[in-house]
Structure 1
Amino acid sequence: MSTQPNELSEQPGAAIRAGLRCLQLDGAIFLRAEFTAPWAYETPSCEQVMRLMKARGQRVVLFHIFTEGSCRIRLERGGTIEDFSAGDIVIFPSGDQHTVGYPSVDGAVPIQQLWPPQPWGLMPLMTHGGGGARTAMVCGYLLSDDAPFNPVLESLPPMIKVRPSGGPLARWVEASVDYALHATDRRAGDDPLLRRLPELLVTECLCDFAARRPPEETGWLAALSDPTVGRALGLMHRQPAHPWALQELARRAATSRSVLDERFRTLLGRAPMAYLTAWRLQLAARELRTTTASLAEVAGAVGYASEASFSKAFKRHVGVSPGEWRSR
């Protein structure tokens, strides 16, 4: 069966951008760090980071961009160890606790002991070490709201290493960091580019990661690349308001209902229509928080025939009514 060009498998980069657009993201490139060997520090838990930063939200995405030297990072969850050098970027999609150091991560001190005294200026400098080989980085974060469902963040490993390797992404990251470091006369709230920079950096790095990742057996990124499921996901993502039924999705994905259902459950752990419901409600949650559209308008935009059916589905999946969600 032939497939129309616009029904090809969803491209990972496009899907990642669409998924992140559903979130309310806010953040900053907020800290410079310069270390001399030997040195090592450990971060607090995600919850402690959010308390220390007096941040609102349910998830913090941390990232470091290394501009000079080398270091080693150990992820506390699972003990994974990775080496990094100038030009590399590390992202912690769930703000996982980790230890950073050079030449090893032994003898780490809590990072709170190294932070410059508050109140901080626009780009405070953190220094530490024994006077040896130098390592420099800039640190940033993104805060995500308490979205009911987001396949992008849920699908990512706890630590992601991105190595732009001198291509367009490397040049763009370098220019972005340079812009942030030299924007000393304005705050992010006064500069739209500074306010969006962390989101853009993380998004482009995640797209690069998705394009370069090794094949996976299961998960959202694997589903995007699957010839059958990827087509169905592309249709759902591009036309969430369409009155999809399993039979039509299967036909347009060039497969049978049973095969589509089985592939969805294998790769994503849920049935096609359950995924569609979750995706629609994710879009609706974003609209409720960021627009003044009426409940009926939001319901129609994500494929519900009535405000009542939308409100019932929203409360069943999210735990609160659309009105309560909007007023939070």
Structure 2
Amino acid sequence: MIETPDRLIEQPAESQSEDRQDLLLDVLSQVRLSGSIFLLGEYRAPWALDPPEAADMARLLAGGSRRLILFHIVQEGSFQVSARGMKVEGKAGDLIVLPHGDQHLMGNPAFSGAIPMAELVPPPPWQSLPVVRIDGGGETTRIVCGYLTCEQLLFNVFLKRLPPVFSVRPRPGAPTEWMQACFTYALNESAHAVQGKRLLMARLPELLFVEALRLYSEQKSADMGWLAAVSDPVLGRALSLIHAEPTKKWSNEELARCAATSRSVLDERFRKLLGQSPMRYLTEWRMQLATDLLRDRNMKLLAVAERCGYGSEEAFSRAFHRCLGVSPARWRESALSANGLPASH
């Protein structure tokens, strides 16, 4: 098969941006997120703060959840965050995200003499948001801190390629106004939120995270990983096809033909940018869809199999066990029990 030159299949930049956003929303719609805003910080330079290590932070905030996503909303002033040797600066209006919940240091102007956060925060449970203050006598920085947990992050080909820390700044207009409204709401309502407002407060971190990922995908260029893949004229088309029809009986040849390239080029680009073959990507996405369907205890395994592209319950069970190490029935029982629900009537 003659390989198709990239320049003949490139999409307009506007179309690529729309496709990238559609794929991002599709992935995030299957990643169950929950979280909260947990801390308000008021600091005057010079100051430096040393939050707990990732495992301790997870136990403090989320009962030991394996996956913790942290973020800092900069309401006023500026500061730096360092994680795994990477450093970013945040200014008023920025959103700083630590997608892997890494141990980090934060401060203005540097990190020397960092005070352990545990010395400044009262032990939970908290009746209202704790306010941490460090008074160095200089410029004031105000920060809203929050977190997210992922109930099940099986399909993490996007998130695992993100850097340990990044900062995004919304463009002037609606996104900026919306994020500022979130800041104001968190500050004004945290201490006396009734039940309905608490539910909305729990949704704010998820909305902020989705917005941060959207902004990051628009503002950053990547050489490897999911963002690079969806921006690639060949892989972007292939990923769109997989996400549009995950139940189709795709083969490497058919996917390459529909993406207007050769099988060898498609496989090489998948492995280079995503670290896996096209069919492995398809299987992992199907398993992500399956874990969501399995939470419905009334859905038969055959129905789950068919909605994930498998012609029989046996074929689906084999694929599921290869990916997760347990049977679909055992996984369902464990997931429902974790939520206090019976596995069956």
* TM-score, structure 1 normalization: 0.91
Q: How does 1:122-201 map to 2 (within 5 A)?
A: 122-183=128-189, 184-186=191-193, 191-201=198-208
**Partner in structure 2 of residue 321 of structure 1:** 327
Contact (CA 8 Å) 2:77, 2:91: kept in 1 or not?
yes
The yes-or-no answer on 1:252 pairing with 2:288 is: no
Check conservation: 2:86, 2:164, Cα contact below 8 A: no
> What is the CA–CA distance in structure 1 between the aligned matches of 2:267 and 2:181, rounded to whole Å?
45
> Are the aligned partners of 1:56 and 1:143 in contact in 2 as well (CA < 8 Å)?
no
Within a 5 Å distance, the mapping from 1:61-72 to structure 2 comes to: 61-72=69-80
8 Å contact from structure 1 (residues 147, 285) kept in 2: no
Q: 1:299, CA displacement in angstroms?
A: 1.1
Contact 2:89–2:167 under 8 Å retained in 1:
no
**After alignment, is 283-292 or 102-111 more displaced?**
283-292
| Structure 2 residue aligned with 1:27 | 35
Equivalents in 1 of 2:158, 2:266: separation in Å? 21
Q: Superposition pairs for residues 306-317 of structure 1, below 5 Å?
A: 306-317=312-323
CA distance in 1, matches of 2:298, 2:229: 34
Note the C-alpha offset of 1:146.
3.7
Deviation digits for residues 42-69 of structure 1, max 9, x if unmatched? Answer: 1222111111224253200000001011
- The count of corresponding residues between Structure 1 and Structure 2 is 322
Letter in 1 for 2:207: L
Q: What do you get for the CA RMSD once the two structures are aligned?
A: 2.1
Equivalent position to 2:68, from 60, 63, 66: 60
Per-residue Cα deviation, 1:262-282 (whole angstroms, up to 9, x for no partner)? 221222121111110111111
Shifted more, 223-232 versus 287-296: the winner is 287-296
Deviations 1:272-321 (Å, cap 9, x if unpaired)?
11110111111111222366422112111110111111111111111111
Amino acid at match of 1:40: A
Q: For the residues of structure 2 that align with 1:291 and 1:173, how far apart are their CA atoms?
A: 37
**Change over 3 Å in CA distance of 1:27–1:188 after alignment to 2:** farther
Describe the shift of the 1:291–1:124 C-alpha distance in structure 2 as closer, same or farther (beyond 3 A): farther
**1:111-130 correspondence runs (5 A):** 111-130=117-136
- Which of 219, 225, 232 aligns to 1:219? It is 225
**Structure 1 residues 67-95: Cα deviation after superposition (integer angstroms, max 9, x where no partner):** 011112222x1x22222211111000000
Structure 1 pair 56–295 and aligned structure 2 pair: CA distance change class (3 A): farther
User: 2: distance between equivalents of 1:293 and 1:167?
Assistant: 44
Deviation string 1:146-183 (CA, Å, 9 cap, x unpaired) is 43222221121110111124332211110112122222
**Structure 1 equivalent of residue 267 of structure 2:** 261
Unaligned stretches of 5+ residues in structure 2: 335-345
The structure 1 residue matched to 2:209, chosen from 202, 206, 228, is 202
- Secondary structure of the residue aligned to 1:289 is coil
Q: Return the alpha-carbon distance in structure 2 between the equivalents of residues 14 and 112 of structure 1.
A: 41
Aligned partner letter, 1:62: L
Aligned equivalents of 1:199 and 1:17: distance in 2? 12
Residue in structure 1 matched with residue 339 of structure 2 by the alignment: none
The answer (yes or no) to whether the contact 1:19–1:151 under 8 Å persists in 2 is no
Alpha-carbon distance in structure 2 between the residues aligned to 1:59 and 1:290:
23
Tell me, yes or no, if structure 1 residue 17 matches structure 2 residue 34: no
State the shift of 1:190 in Å.
5.8
- What letter is aligned with 2:249? P
Percent of pairs with identical residues = 45
Say whether 1:47 aligns with 2:55: yes
- 2:81–2:106 Cα contact (<8 Å) kept: yes
Counterpart-to-counterpart distance in 1, 2:165 and 2:31:
20
2:31, 2:298 → 1: CA distance? 17
Q: 1:304 and 1:117 mapped to 2: Cα distance?
A: 49
CA distance in 2: counterparts of 1:18 and 1:129, whole angstroms? 44
Q: Distance in 1 between matches of 2:206 and 2:178?
A: 14
Return closer, same or farther for 1:63/1:291 CA change in 2, 3 Å cut-off. farther
CA distance in structure 2 between the aligned counterparts of 1:47 and 1:146, rounded to whole angstroms: 17
Flag the 1:241–1:188 CA change in 2: closer, same or farther, 3 A: farther
